Structure 1
Amino acid sequence: MSTYFSDASFKFLRGLARHNDREWFHSHKADYESHVRGPFLRLLADLQPALREVSEHYRAEPKGNGGSLFRIHRDTRFANDKSPYKNWQGARLFHARSKQVEAPAFYLHLQPGNCFVAAGVWHPEPETLRRIRHFIIDNPGSWKAAAHGAKFRKRFDLDDDEMLVRMPRGFPADFEFADDLRRRNFAAFRSIDDATMTGPRLRKTLEGDLATLAPLVDYLCAALDLEF
């Protein structure tokens, strides 16, 4: 089994976190290409067959621009932090219609001590959030299976950030999954230790994660009238 990332990948990202400026980045750009960007694009290409088995409507695009891999450059136009680069690398495995409508995605994150795999909708628009909440009200049994199954919850946690203090207006407080209706993000994640990220079983591990996350993504696609 081949490996993708290495200690050199983490060394570059740790260095970038300490020296987040254009001069340092350009003097170490070859390390970025060799140890971070290049391996990530190769991983995305190798995940394509497994992703097609999960859903023919999802894409792992190993393109330099406009594909799954996020740019390492930060958008600082409206940010207080003007650091020009992210100190992590991420990739989004996206729905074929995601450029037309808001859609759930799978996500991979590379960062020393903070690697993870995730899936769902993050910071959705109000209308998307409303549709998901109403779908859960109307389909509680399949929500329980998708988001609260024993196998799923043994491996993944639901994102609890930014939950509402109170129930959203118009939703029943005595609903079986009332806590879920208070969520602002409908996403699940699992941490991946650095040794696994740099080891030979990373691709197989991620293929299993994509399959386990699939029912949640399928449910969210159904809530938003998207194919899965």
Structure 2
Amino acid sequence: MAKQTTGGAGIQQAGLDFLSVLKKNNNREWFNAHKDDYLQELKQMETFADALLADLSVHDVIETASGKQSLFRIYRDTRFSADKSPYRTYWSGGFKRATQQRRGGYYFSIEPGASFIGGGFWGPVADDLRKIRDDIAFDPAPLQKILNSKSFKSTFGTLEGEQLKKAPRGYDPAHEAVDLLRYKQFLLMRRFTDEEVLSPQFRKEAGKTFAAMRPFFDYMSEILSTDSNGL
């Protein structure tokens, strides 16, 4: 099995090793036989998530109370899935911004070969999606300025998320920002190699990535927390 985890608030090789072996043995018998390994690596992830929360709290107000509460369960709900594998093969968690005036959420996922730091709006409700599209249709320049900024491009590259194939109903198909109007999700993603994840600098880079989301979150928060009169 994986080598012994060492201390600290970073990601350890043992945490990735556990996931790699779990992926090859995704069944309850193996998991139960290695429950102590799981609990040990889970504790390390709680320490990492606590550190992320402390870093986030320097520049934002977070509703999530602890790193432990931020973590998503490793147990999968397979009731409505064709994949009956009982366990996720990645560590993940999310932090919710506090109050209705601060919109958007922070997310992290640690998986061998597929780790990323993310954030944004995974499933905007219909009213929120309409507000976002209406603001883009009225004046796309503020959002375009954020997405085209040097900081955004160097950190995230481009806005991601599911899109419609054509302009949503009620919006001009020839609008100058129809590419933005077609978004159904608004996601910011920065991917990391295993080498980067295991680096002592990873926590710092994760914090910088979260901080780089703020102009986008501030823009969205203003749209989603005010009415058509700006109140």
- Same fold per superposition (TM over 0.5): yes
Distance 2:25 2:62 in 1: 40
Question: Partner of 1:147 in structure 2?
Answer: 147
Question: Partner of 2:82 in structure 1?
Answer: 80
Give 3-state SS (helix, strand or coil) of 2:118's partner. strand
Distance 2:198 2:24 in 1: 22
Map of 1:129-208 to 2, 5 A cutoff?
A: 129-208=129-208
Question: Partner of 2:56 in structure 1?
Answer: 51
Instruction: Report runs of 4+ in structure 1 exceeding 4 Å deviation.
Output: none
Question: Partner of 1:216 in structure 2?
Answer: 216
Distance 1:138 1:60 in 2: 38
What count of residue pairs does the alignment treat as equivalent? 220
Give 3-state SS (helix, strand or coil) of 1:157's partner. coil
Q: Is the 8 A contact 2:102 2:218 kept in 1?
A: no
Question: Partner of 2:29 in structure 1?
Answer: 23
Distance 1:142 1:54 in 2: 22
Q: Is the 8 A contact 1:45 1:60 kept in 2?
A: no
Residue 42 of structure 1, CA deviation: 0.9
**Corresponding position: 1:39 with 2:41:** no
Map of 1:37-116 to 2, 5 A cutoff?
A: 37-59=42-64, 61-63=66-68, 67-97=69-99, 103-116=103-116
Q: Is the 8 A contact 1:54 1:210 kept in 2?
A: no
Q: 1:49/1:139 Cα in 2 relative to 1: closer, same or farther (>3 Å)?
A: farther
Give 3-state SS (helix, strand or coil) of 2:18's partner. helix
Structure 2 residues without counterparts, runs of 5 or longer: 1-6, 227-231
Distance 1:33 1:219 in 2: 40
Residue 20 of structure 1, CA deviation: 0.9
Q: Which amino acid counterpart does residue 89 of structure 2 have in structure 1?
A: N
Distance 1:184 1:167 in 2: 11
Could you report, residue by residue, the CA deviation over 1:62-114 in whole angstroms, capped at 9, with x for unpaired residues?
A: 22xxx21100011112112111111111110112348xx99521110100000
Residue 53 of structure 1, CA deviation: 2.7
**TM-score under structure 2 normalisation?**
0.85
Question: Partner of 2:3 in structure 1?
Answer: none
Give 3-state SS (helix, strand or coil) of 1:217's partner. helix
Distance 2:145 2:55 in 1: 22
Q: Which moved more, 1:131-140 or 1:114-123?
A: 131-140
Residue 2 of structure 1, CA deviation: 4.2
Identity %, equivalent residues: 31
**CA radius of gyration, larger in:** 2
Q: 1:128/1:113 Cα in 2 relative to 1: closer, same or farther (>3 Å)?
A: same
Q: Which amino acid counterpart does residue 14 of structure 1 have in structure 2?
A: S
Q: How large is the RMSD of aligned CA atoms in angstroms?
A: 2.4
Q: Is the 8 A contact 2:102 2:221 kept in 1?
A: no
Q: Is the 8 A contact 1:2 1:200 kept in 2?
A: no
Distance 2:99 2:19 in 1: 32
Give 3-state SS (helix, strand or coil) of 1:190's partner. strand
